[in-house]
């Protein structure tokens, strides 16, 4: 049996669940969750091995879908709308195809149902070095990460997961050991024949390479009532880089 995922809830109305990406947590979505709370009872979750949710030796999409099903049943939700970014988007896709009668509308943010080869080598190496260093301040962690990759946005995103594990030692909230061991599962494709016929919105970042033009036919083969929108001038973190435009597009889709 699954354990209950940690969550934060905003607003009232029909239920909406938001799922973060790899190395993320519910806090990354808090500002937008408050906005969606004007129209929905918005639940922003920490997925297993992330944030304040439980740690597990296993990290697969099938298990994450069971975690969400358990969460929905615990709260008495017959149907929800789902927003998922990156790893959370893959989880949302699979959930909608496994339990189509439990999903009202689906929003997938900058991820396709295809296989992605492991591509987090520099990030994982940096995180491992931070984890081994027994750091005592965030600047120290940032310098270690900077020695592995230059992107300040990604570094700041990762540093948000630091917390005081003890009075003298900072650590990451996510389960780095297991995520590193299970990283091959993160790139898995949606299985052939997996279908969802409910209203679906895919959003891609114009400056991101996670969704390419050739992916449109693949998306349409799995999602039978789908709209695909490219957001200009943004990369993989569409919701963080262009929150107002993101909120406008997604709220219009979910409400009407």
- C-alpha atoms less than 13 angstroms from C-alpha of 240 in its C-beta half-sphere: 16
Sequence-ordered list of residues with C-beta below 8 angstroms from that of 229, at least 6 positions apart, any chain: 201, 202, 203, 204, 249
Query: What gap in Å lies between CA 3 and CA 218, rounded to an integer?
Result: 33
Separation between Cα atoms, residue 214 and residue 220, nearest integer Å: 11
How many CB atoms neighbour CB 215 within 10 A? 17
Catalytic residues: 86, 236
Contact 49, 56 (CB under 8 A): yes
Closest CA to 61 of 98, 23, 105: 98
Residue 205's Cα: distance from chain center in Å? 15
The answer to whether 140 and 159 have CB atoms below 8 angstroms apart is: no
Say how far apart CA 115 and CA 133 lie, in whole Å: 33
**3-state SS class at 165:** coil
CA–CA separation, 177 and 234 (whole Å)? 31
DSSP at 132 = H
């Amino acid at each position: 049996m699954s354990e209950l995922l940690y969550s934060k809830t905003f607003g009232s109305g029909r239920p909406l669940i938001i799922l973060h990406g790899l190395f993320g947590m519910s806090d990354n979505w808090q500002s937008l969750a408050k906005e969606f709370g004007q129209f929905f009872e918005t639940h922003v979750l920490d997925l297993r091995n992330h944030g304040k949710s439980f740690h597990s030796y296993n990290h697969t999409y099938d298990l994450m879908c069971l975690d969400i099903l358990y969460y929905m049943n615990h709260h008495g939700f017959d149907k929800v709308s789902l927003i998922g970014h990156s790893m959370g988007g893959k989880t949302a896709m699979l959930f909608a195809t496994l339990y189509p009668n439990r999903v009202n509308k689906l929003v997938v943010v900058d991820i396709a149902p295809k296989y992605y080869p492991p591509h987090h080598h520099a990030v994982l190496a940096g995180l491992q070095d931070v984890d081994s260093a027994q750091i005592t301040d965030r600047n120290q962690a940032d310098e270690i990460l900077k020695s592995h990759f230059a992107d300040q946005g990604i570094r700041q995103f990762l540093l948000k997961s630091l917390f005081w594990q003890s009075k003298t030692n900072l650590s990451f909230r996510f389960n780095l050991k297991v995520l590193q061991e299970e990283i091959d599962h993160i790139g898995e494709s949606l299985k052939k024949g997996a279908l969802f016929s409910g209203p679906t919105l895919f959003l891609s970042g114009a400056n991101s390479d996670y969704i390419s033009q050739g992916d449109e036919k693949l998306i349409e083969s799995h999602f039978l009532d789908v709209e695909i929108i490219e957001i200009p001038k943004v990369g993989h973190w569409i919701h963080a880089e262009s929150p107002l435009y993101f909120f406008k597009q997604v709220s219009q889709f979910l409400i009407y």
